[in-house]
Every structure is written in C-alpha cells, then in structure tokens.
Amino acid sequence: MIKVMASGVFDILHPGHISYLTQAKAMGDHLTVVVANDSTVRRIKHEPVTPQEMRALIVGALKPVDEVVVGGDGDMFDTVSKIRPDVIVLGFDQDFDEQKLLAQLEERGLTGIRLARATESADDLNATRRILSKIRNMGSQ
C-alpha cells in the first residue's frame, strides 16, 4: 500500500483544494491530509476563518481523503514521522524548496519519501486569497 500525505490550511474550501487532493490521492492508495492547526495558520497566513476542528471535519468528508490529522504546533517533521508517508504531495503554490525539504527529511531519518508537486487548477477562484479578495471587493461596491 502506498501512503500519500498532503497538507494545507483548507480555510475556505474551493476547487483548487479539490484538485490538489484528487491529484494527491491518484499518487497512492491511502491519502492522509494534515490540516494546519489554528496557531500555525495565524503565524504563517492570517486569522483562520474557520477553526481547525471544522476544517478537519470538512476535509475528512471529501471523497479523495482517507484520513485527516490536525497538525501540531512543533516541528512539522514530527507529524511526518507519525504518518510515515511514501509520498508527500505539495500544493502548486506551497512555498517549499523541494531539495531542501528532501535534505531535512533525510537528516531526521525519514528516508525513502518521494516528493511530488500538484499542478494548478484552472478555476478562477482556486485560492483562498482570491476568494477573500473577491468578497472584500463585493463589500466595497
């Protein structure tokens, strides 16, 4: 069985998320999705629109997803160690240097993990930032 891991905030679910998770599921047999916890979202992006438990519930209900884990506050590699994926699928817009990530995995003894990058969805509203921007613009009209 090939275990795949994908991760993200999944704050406002949109077609880009569906595309990402569908692509990730196609790369293996079992897809575990790591939903960023609220404190991580605040630190790296913005105040979450929906709390982590709600985001995990929604993501877990999606057809491609076999399992959902809320990420921890510490080292992201702790979560990778628990899941032990064969493949980690990065979103097309996730800011990871793939070579650096592979080196960090290897430093922690997490060898044999393959990285893949999902391709961008063609949908106009394929990113939370675009959706929030559209909502803000609607309010100013």
pLDDT in tens, 82-133: 999 999 999 988 888 999 999 999 999 999 999 999 998 766 545 666 666 6
Locate tokens 């692509």: which residue?
23
Sketch the domain layout of the chain as residue ranges.
Answer: 3-139
Residue written as token pair 């905030």: 9
pTM, entire model: 0.87
72, two tokens: 């921890």
pLDDT tens for residues 27-57? 999 999 999 999 999 998 888 989 999 999 9
For the chain, the average pLDDT equals: 89
CA-nearest of 62, 60, 54 to 12 is 54
The CATH T-level fold of domain 3-139 is: Rossmann fold (3.40.50)
Alpha helix positions (H), 1-141: 15-25, 38-44, 52-60, 76-83, 98-107, 128-139
